[in-house]
Amino acid sequence: MAISARLRRTPAQWLLYACSGLALAISAAFGGWQAVSQAEPELKAGEVNAGEPWSVKVVTARLLQDLEPAVYLKNKEDHWLAVIAEVEITDDRSHTDVNRIIRVPTATGILVDTPSGTSFDAYPYEVLLARDGTRVDALHPGMTERVAFLWEQKPDAVPTQLDVDIIGLTWRKNTLTDSYEWLDEAVRASLTVPVEDKRVPVEDKGNG
């Protein structure tokens, strides 16, 4: 399944990523610029769920408003539902399929391209690096990164807690191609985390 929408940028917007102000703003939204600590390999909120092809520590979930120009809401009245996690690739090769790592199975009001509008099978709208807001094209073995998985959510959906699924894959032979691949997406672990409301009220924007 492809990501429902892609990040839209112009050459001028790429220049904005060089500005420290944007990097700091994105970092503040996602809790970046923090040292990554080693957690126990037990499934608890804030600790590592070790496995293949990635190990995952869900840090927090947040509601966020304007993240432009890093990523754009399709509907301006919506907000972002963000799951912030520290991810380390345990495979011996880099992975570009980072949108497969996290799901939010019971979240309501998620903008998806299905008639039912359910988030059960919804991939993240986008995945960004928490430290500077750039898009995650790949994660690499042995390099733990704090990333933000983003879903666009309708304004009347304001969760105070969120069910999060960590997805695992199996390294096996593809019966069609006869080559080995990471296949069989399955829920490897589940947890429930509180949701922090970090949205900026409209009346507060631009007031200094």
Q: What is the pLDDT of residue 46?
A: 81
pLDDT at 54 over 60: yes
155 sits in the region (left: phi over 0; alpha: psi -120 to 50; else beta) called alpha
Q: How confident is the model at residue 200 (pLDDT cuts 50, 70, 90)?
A: confident
CA quadruple 83, 86, 89, 95: dihedral sign: positive
pTM above 0.85, yes or no: no
pLDDT at 31 over 70: no
pLDDT at 4 over 80: no
DSSP 55-77: EEEEEEEEEE---TTT---SSTT
Domain boundaries, the chain: 11-199
Note whether 30 and 82 are within 8 A (CB): yes
Q: What is the pLDDT of residue 68?
A: 93
Note whether 139 and 89 are within 8 A (CB): yes
Residue 205: Cβ-neighbour burial (10 angstroms; 0-12, 13-18, 19+): exposed
Q: What is the pLDDT of residue 33?
A: 44
Q: What is the pLDDT of residue 24?
A: 58
pLDDT at 197 over 60: yes
CA 156 to chain centre: 21
| Residue 131 or residue 22, greater confidence | 131
What's the chain's average pLDDT? 81
pLDDT at 28 over 80: no
Q: Note the pLDDT tens digit of each residue in 132-168.
A: 999 999 999 999 999 999 999 999 999 999 999 999 9
